[in-house]
């Protein structure tokens, strides 16, 4: 009981010190909030309709070229500017003032009216490979739909004439008894539109909206916080008190080295909890959906996984403390490790989808990534206990092993510091 | 446990080595209850190591340490509750207020809040911290931080207060204030053990002094007893106008045992028959181009004792 009181006294003291330290406030509260906001507004923005700035130069004066321009405008895919000079339009396109351009040649309307083949040329601006590909898709998609629509209209006109003359055809023709008007209509429409195609987007059952993606990323941010806070607390567990001059006095009190470490671990978890609350609140504010259910054991297992991830990183931090003689050195080492780790371990982006092959293999066996990934699949995607329970023994074992090694290192470092 | 019947602190054949480096060698010492005891020695003499062993921060390579009869190795937690330890560094957190610091240290000893508040009031008054106690420690001067550190070490009402170089880094005024506080604590019945390399501090405060050098205790006694070890020698102090690097070499042949102390512009020498010796000293100095400004016969100090016992100065 006395031991618990001492640990809580240390936790409370460390928490007070942390909350009065601007750098801790930045890394524990501001940094995760920035990550959530960047996620919401930059990396996972609201889906918006793309509108291309399009130029049109028509060498044709007929009605069908006007119909084409009108179709461009009404599609809402293009904001159209008409040019009276072809060279001026191409110049605007190559300077990047236009995203696409359309050239309607002379005789376009006449050929369409006569039912002859005709030409129409489109140009797109190559801003970069990705946008060029998008622009090309939009322009080709529009032209495909426009052409098909045109073909169907032509077919319908042909069918109308066929209906008018059908009676005469059947009466006068020697093969009239074989003629079937309905079949002829279908055949003509089939010529205009040989295959009716459709594309449907299928999303996973539990990943149906941007809100879920944001919820997923909010848990990733909490995972990142376990990485930074855990490494920081572990690597400075001894040197911080040494630099403050308080280490000797603390250990001259009834506090044991393990109680000191327990107090620091608890204060680290408390800071991560505060950070997680701030992160979740901001996440909810920008539209994230969280799948926490107090009656669902999977939700509690997910929280346990995040705690174990923090303990795992505290253990790694304790091991780092062998080489971190000052808190400044510790800070530099943490930055050198944590930032690359954040992006390459799969803790930030989900590993199977985004990481290249060697990193993906590492992420799949990395206990910290497993801990965070399973937690976010439960709390972010709303997956059930089956998605997390099989991984729990691995996460517990890894956290216990690394933390135990860390404790041995901590004791050795402490002994060395006390004897100085 | 009746503490009055026991020694406050006992070291028996305590040694400590770090690999090949011997920090302490067979140190034996007994410190009485309610005594103000000083460990006097230069940096590296082993004072801090000895105090850390007493507090239980490090373990001796061999030997035994008892605090009020309790073995520090066998019952470290019990011993720690009897000791208030003030290391060289200030032990308080800059980001907390003085009051928060004291409440934190009280909570480490499981002291109930009401008792802690009562003690804080008492020690804050004794240490003159009333006006500062609610301010953040980052705003404190060095002297105030040291006083708060002492308050933090007294919060569990220890019988034995151990201070390591308590006045190092303090200005003369803060140092005098701290001396006064230590004397008041002694009057309250506390046993005080402090390490220092200031001879005037040991002389002014200590009931008894142990002189340490190179990990050994070379002498123990009251300041007067120790000073008697200088013997029948007359100590003269010569203030010179132009201290030269070779001053020590010039003075050495005239001083008993060849022992000479130089501090800034003052030369301290030990003469067996100063009536006949002094004119020769002056003549020798003048011949070497050193100009004496004042000459006075001086009382022996603990530094003289240290020089006699170890053959070198404290600083």
In chain B, where the domains are located: 3-227, 232-299
Mean pLDDT, range A375-400, rounded to an integer: 92
For tokens 């909810």, what's the residue?
Answer: A284
Distance CA A277, CA A212 (A): 18
For tokens 């803790």, what's the residue?
Answer: A347
CB A104 within 8 A of CB A120: yes
**pLDDT of A175 above 70:** no
pLDDT given for residue A259 in this prediction: 93
Q: Do B152 and A249 touch (CB under 8 A)?
A: yes
Q: Residue A244: its chain B contacts at CB < 8 A?
A: 93-94
pLDDT given for residue A361 in this prediction: 81
CB B170 within 8 A of CB B142: yes
pLDDT given for residue B315 in this prediction: 64
Q: Which residues pair with B217 in a beta bridge?
A: B212
**pLDDT of A208 above 60:** no
Q: What is the pTM of this model?
A: 0.75
pLDDT given for residue A375 in this prediction: 94
pLDDT given for residue A199 in this prediction: 82
pLDDT given for residue A356 in this prediction: 79
Mean pLDDT, range A144-162, rounded to an integer: 87
**Cβ-nearest to B95 among A9, A17, A252:** A17
**pLDDT of A353 above 70:** no
Distance CA B110, CA B61 (A): 32
pLDDT given for residue B1 in this prediction: 44
Q: Residue B81: its chain A contacts at CB < 8 A?
A: 254
**Number of neighbouring beta carbons within 10 Å of residue B1:** 10
Q: Which CATH class is domain B232-299?
A: alpha beta
Distance CA A115, CA A70 (A): 21
- Residue from B108, B113, B145 to probe the interface with A (highest A Cβ count within 10 Å): B108
What's the count of helices (H) and strands (E) in chain A, helices before strands? Answer: 18, 4
Give the pair of three-digit tokens for residue B49. Answer: 């190591």
- % of chain A surpassing 70 pLDDT: 94
- % of chain B surpassing 70 pLDDT: 98
C-alpha B81, offset from chain centre: 23
Q: Residue A418: its chain B contacts at CB < 8 A?
A: 52, 57-58
Domain boundaries, chain A: 7-44+211-419, 52-192
Residue A86: its H or E element = helix A86-94
Q: Give the lowest-confidence range in A302-306, A413-417, B49-53.
A: A413-417
Distance CA B218, CA B308 (A): 11
Distance CA A398, CA A392 (A): 10
Is the CB of residue A204 less than 8 Å away from at least one CB of chain B?
no
**Cβ-nearest to A13 among B77, B104, B156:** B104
pLDDT given for residue A47 in this prediction: 67
Distance CA A59, CA A107 (A): 8
Side-chain-facing half-sphere of A287: CA atoms under 13 Å? 12
Residues of chain B with pLDDT under 70: 1-5, 314-315
3-state DSSP assignment of residue A156: helix
Q: For domain B3-227, give the CATH superfamily.
A: P-loop containing nucleotide triphosphate hydrolases (3.40.50.300)
Distance CA B88, CA A272 (A): 34
User: Shortest CA distance to B304 belongs to which of B237, B215, B214?
Assistant: B237
pLDDT given for residue A201 in this prediction: 73
Q: If you count residue pairs, one on A and one on B, with CB atoms under 8 Å apart, how many are there?
A: 74
Q: Name the band, by pLDDT with cuts 50, 70 and 90, for residue A263.
A: very high
Q: For domain A52-192, give the CATH superfamily.
A: abc type-2 transporter like domain (3.40.1710.10)
User: Shortest CA distance to A376 belongs to which of A386, A387, A367, A366?
Assistant: A387
According to DSSP H, which parts of A115-254 are helical? 129-172, 181-192, 210-236, 239-244, 247-251
For tokens 């009931």, what's the residue?
Answer: B207
């Amino acid at each position: 009981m006395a031991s618990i009181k001492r640990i809580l006294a240390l936790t409370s003291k460390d928490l007070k010190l942390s909350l009065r330290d601007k750098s801790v406030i930045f890394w524990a509260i501001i940094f995760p909030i920035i990550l959530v906001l960047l996620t919401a507004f930059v990396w996972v923005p609201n889906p918006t309709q793309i509108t291309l700035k399009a130029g049109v130069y028509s060498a044709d004066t007929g009605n069908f070229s006007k119909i084409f321009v009108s179709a461009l405008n009404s599609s809402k895919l293009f904001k159209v500017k008409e040019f009276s000079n072809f060279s001026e339009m191409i110049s605007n396109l190559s300077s990047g003032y236009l995203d696409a351009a359309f050239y309607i040649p002379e005789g376009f309307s006449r050929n369409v009216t006569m039912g002859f083949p005709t030409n129409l040329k489109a140009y797109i601006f190559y801003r970069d490979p990705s946008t060029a590909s998008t622009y090309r898709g939009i322009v080709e998609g529009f032209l495909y739909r426009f052409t098909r629509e045109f073909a169907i209209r032509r077919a319908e006109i042909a069918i109308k004439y066929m209906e008018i003359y059908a009676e005469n055809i059947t009466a006068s023709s020697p093969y009239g008894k074989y003629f079937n008007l309905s079949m002829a209509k279908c055949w003509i429409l089939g010529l205009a539109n040989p295959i009716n195609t459709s594309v449907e987007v299928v999303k996973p059952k539990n990943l149906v909206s941007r809100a879920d993606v944001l919820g997923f990323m909010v848990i990733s941010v909490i995972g990142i916080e376990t990485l930074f806070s855990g490494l920081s607390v572990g690597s400075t567990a001894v040197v911080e008190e040494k630099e403050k001059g308080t280490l000797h006095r603390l250990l001259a009190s009834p506090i044991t080295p393990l109680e000191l470490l327990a107090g620091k671990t608890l204060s680290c978890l408390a800071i991560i909890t505060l950070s997680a609350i701030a992160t979740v609140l901001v996440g909810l504010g920008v539209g994230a959906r969280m799948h926490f259910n107090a009656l669902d054991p999977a939700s509690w297992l997910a929280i346990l996984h995040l705690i174990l991830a923090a303990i795992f990183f505290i253990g790694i931090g304790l091991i780092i403390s062998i080489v971190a003689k000052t808190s400044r050195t510790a800070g530099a080492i943490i930055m050198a490790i944590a930032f690359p780790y954040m992006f390459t371990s799969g803790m930030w982006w989900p590993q199977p989808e985004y990481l290249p092959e060697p990193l993906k293999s590492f992420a799949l066996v990395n206990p910290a990534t497993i801990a965070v990934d399973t937690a976010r699949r439960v709390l972010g995607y709303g997956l059930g206990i089956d998605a997390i329970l099989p991984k729990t023994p691995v996460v517990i074992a890894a956290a216990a092993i690394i933390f135990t090694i860390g404790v041995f290192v901590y004791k050795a470092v402490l002994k060395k510091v006390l004897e100085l | 446990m009746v503490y009055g019947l026991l020694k406050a602190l006992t070291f028996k054949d305590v040694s400590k080595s770090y690999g090949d480096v011997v920090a302490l060698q067979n140190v034996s010492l007994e410190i009485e209850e309610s005594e103000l005891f000083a460990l006097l020695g230069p940096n590296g003499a082993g004072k801090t190591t000895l105090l850390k062993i007493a507090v239980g921060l490090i373990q001796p390579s061999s030997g035994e340490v008892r605090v009020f009869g309790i073995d520090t190795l066998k019952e470290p937690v019990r011993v720690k509750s009897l000791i208030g330890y003030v290391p060289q560094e200030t032990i308080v957190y800059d980001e907390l207020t003085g009051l928060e610091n004291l409440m934190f240290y009280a909570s480490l000893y499981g002291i109930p809040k009401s008792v802690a508040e009562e003690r804080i009031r008492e020690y804050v008054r004794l240490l003159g911290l009333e006006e500062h106690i609610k301010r953040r420690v980052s705003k404190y001067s060095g002297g105030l931080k040291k006083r708060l550190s002492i308050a933090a070490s007294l919060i569990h009402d220890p019988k034995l207060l151990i201070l390591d170089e308590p006045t190092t880094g303090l200005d003369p005024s803060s140092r005098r204030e701290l001396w006064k506080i230590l004397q008041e604590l002694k009057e309250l019945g506390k046993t005080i053990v402090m390490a220092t390399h200031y001879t005037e501090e040991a002389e002014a405060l200590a009931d008894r002094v142990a002189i340490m050098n190179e990990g050994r205790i070379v002498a123990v006694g009251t300041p007067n007893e120790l000073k008697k070890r200088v013997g029948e020698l007359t100590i003269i102090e010569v203030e010179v106008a132009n201290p030269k690097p070779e001053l020590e070499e010039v003075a050495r042949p005239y001083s008993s045992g060849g022992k000479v102390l130089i501090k800034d512009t003052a030369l301290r020498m030990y003469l067996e028959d100063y009536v006949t010796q002094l004119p020769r000293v002056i003549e020798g100095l003048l011949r070497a181009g050193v100009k004496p400004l004042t000459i006075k016969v001086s009382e022996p100090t603990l530094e003289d004792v240290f020089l006699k016992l170890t053959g070198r100065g404290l600083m």
